[in-house]
Amino acid sequence: MINWPLLENNIAFGHVLNNASGFDLSRVVSRGNEAYGNFRGFEMNIGESYGDVAFDNVDAGIYVDTGSGLTLIDGARIWTNGIGVEAATFSNQSLRLTNSLIYGNTKTGVTVSDSNIVELINNTIYQPVGDALIVTRTQTRFRCSTTSSV
C-alpha cells in the first residue's frame, strides 16, 4: 500500500445531478466505503480500493478515469449499476481488478477501453443481461486470470 490519505467506512448516496460521483478520488486509499444512488459510485484517478461497495448507481459503480499510474481495486462488491466497472481513456494508466464480485448490472459487468495495462484476476462476474466483459483498444497488455463470468 502506498502512503496516501485513507478514506474508510463512509457512505455516499443521492448525488445524481451533473454527472456527480459519490466519491471522486485521486491518490487516495479507499477502504470499506459504500456508494449507492449516485450518478457514479466511485470515480478513481490513480489510487487503491479495498472492499468498497457500489450499487444502484445510474452510470458506473466504479469509473476509472484518465491518469498516469496504477489503480488497484481489490475485494469490491458491485451490483445493479448501469456498468459495474468502467475504465476508459487512460493511455498511461494501469488497472488491476482482483478478488471482486460484480453482478446484475444493467449494461455491462466490466468495460475497458483505450487502456495500457489491465489485469483482471480472481473475480466473479455474473451478468444475466448485457455483456459480462467488453475490452476494446487495449494497447500494451491485457491479462484475465481465474475470472469467472456468466
* Cα 95 to Cα 120: distance, rounded to the nearest angstrom: 8
Q: Is the pLDDT of residue 16 over 80?
A: yes
For the record, the C-alpha cell of 93 comes out as: 494508466
pLDDT at 1 over 60: no
Name the more confident of 38 and 19: 38
Q: What is the pLDDT of residues 24-67, one digit of tens each?
A: 999 999 999 999 999 999 999 889 999 999 999 999 999 998 66
Angle at 79 between CA 77 and CA 81, to 5 degrees: 130
Phi, psi of 19 (to 5 degrees): 55, 40
The reported pLDDT for the residue numbered 79 is 98
Which of the pair, 93 or 75, is modelled with greater confidence?
75
pTM (predicted TM-score): 0.92
The pLDDT tens digits of the residues spanning 109-126 come to 999 887 778 889 999 999
Collapse the DSSP code of 97 into the 3-class scheme (helix H, G, I; strand E, B; otherwise coil) and give the result: strand
Task: Output the DSSP codes for 55-86.
Answer: ES-SSEEEEE-S-EEEEEEES-EEESSSEEEE
Give the pLDDT of residue 149: 65
